[in-house]
Structure 1
């Protein structure tokens, strides 16, 4: 059986030109140098790194398998759009998301804790076992045996009634299509955006709706391609007890919901 032909260079160049981007513009979006991008397009990079595979896949919304094995330039425009919009492999994380973990001496997975000062490094090191090994880690005997768990701190009051400053224990979500609407999750976003603890709903148009628990904050959407990881809420740890809502807070929440409904009605008009 002959060797599988690899279409990575031609696909990267084709998809860049399809978006009418220069090498400089695409390199900036990917956070790499133009020289490195040119090496990918010219075929001088024989073995792209895992990080490169993931970054190109997420930006172009194409599975790694498709980028490597299919000559996308030979597909119809509709088929390319189907790959981008349907993106089942992307949503399910098949050959796209690579989760690094650490284990204890008994080969059991640790729970890594991502402190506030490590957030910036997490975005570039989330798939690097050496980076994860620098994070505090612990174990809890009450957690389920299945799944990978990680703890993240919360900042701000958008997650009330969960007290500000709580630590959220979460379970890794590989298949994003499995999420039910308004599933509480820690969402790891690209760029300089903070980690957010939101109710997540996957929209059919390729966006993700993020809703705060505190109804004084407006919901908003982000492109799925801007999301690095999803971690589903399991429990939280806090020194504070959640406070019961006062009559005024309940009234404010009702008014906020009414304003949101009026805004939706106007948007449909």
Structure 2
């Protein structure tokens, strides 16, 4: 039985509706509902939207997930957890402002990483961190972290990464880079390669491929900052290898030369 047919039959019975009653609610014939539940036909998009709205679920859930008692129990639990912890596992943090009430960007130097692990939730500790402003970063809460180690080359050790605070686990996106503060790993700058919502786990990878990808549980995450800018005293070195465009140009020029030589012969 297909997902749509199974879900439709389950949801109809869960709401104690007969096929005729459901058909009346959707303004279709009872035989149409029977065809859908027996997997002999599939509803069009417009009707799918009506069904999803009737059952108070999303269309994506209706057509993509096996809906049953276990599914509902899991969803209710997640909803309760979100109600009790609206930040999705991440907390509201302490900030500092200047004399004009503009938020500062606090800097966490590499040598202060261990101290930040202990004092990140202490407003007094945060207030003592170095502070600065970047005029092109507006509309969020930002913090800067000095990198140590070579796991994120080509960003050199000593580079300062400025991150925007992420309030909710669900806002973390695969493929983006983040500064992650966690109980076991401390402060790391990594690329999120996969976010698994079911058990709230992050897969973190280094851009330097000699380092292995690893995972951390969301419950161990203390802070997450999405990388928005970096400051470095190391300038990029020019590439010694020609670009694809340059190589194509060289080949074309060589072909013209060969043709010209043949013509002269």
The correspondence of residues 146-165 of structure 1 with structure 2, limited to 5 A, is 146-165=139-158
Q: Which runs of 5+ in 2 are unaligned?
A: 1-69, 242-265
Q: Deviations over 1:156-204 (max 9, x none)?
A: 111011122200011000022122212200000114x331111123213
Q: What is aligned with 1:138?
A: 132
> Residue 195 of structure 1: which of 187, 208, 214 is its match?
187
Question: 2-side partners of 1:195 and 1:132: how far apart?
Answer: 15
Give the counterpart of 2:112 among 92, 113, 118: 118
What TM-score results when the alignment is normalised by the length of structure 1?
Answer: 0.56
Q: Paired residue for 1:105?
A: 99
Structure 1: give runs of 5+ residues left out of the alignment: 1-75, 248-269
RMSD: 3.0
Moved over 3 A (4+): 78-92, 242-247
1:47-66 matches, cutoff 5 A: none
Q: Distance in 1 between matches of 2:239 and 2:85?
A: 37
CA drift of 1:114 comes to: 0.7
Q: How many residues align?
A: 169
Cα gap change, 1:243/1:225 in structure 2, threshold over 3 Å: closer, same or farther?
farther
Q: TM-score if structure 2 supplies the norm length? A: 0.56
* Mapped partners of 2:182, 2:236: distance in 1: 27
State how far apart, in whole Å, the 2-side matches of 1:107 and 1:133 are. Answer: 14
Measure, in 2, the Cα distance between the counterparts of 1:190 and 1:233.
20
Equivalent positions of 1:1-269 (< 5 A) are: 83=77, 87-88=81-82, 93=87, 97-144=91-138, 146-191=139-184, 193-200=185-192, 201-204=194-197, 205-243=199-237
C-alpha distance in 2 between matches for 1:182 and 1:117: 28
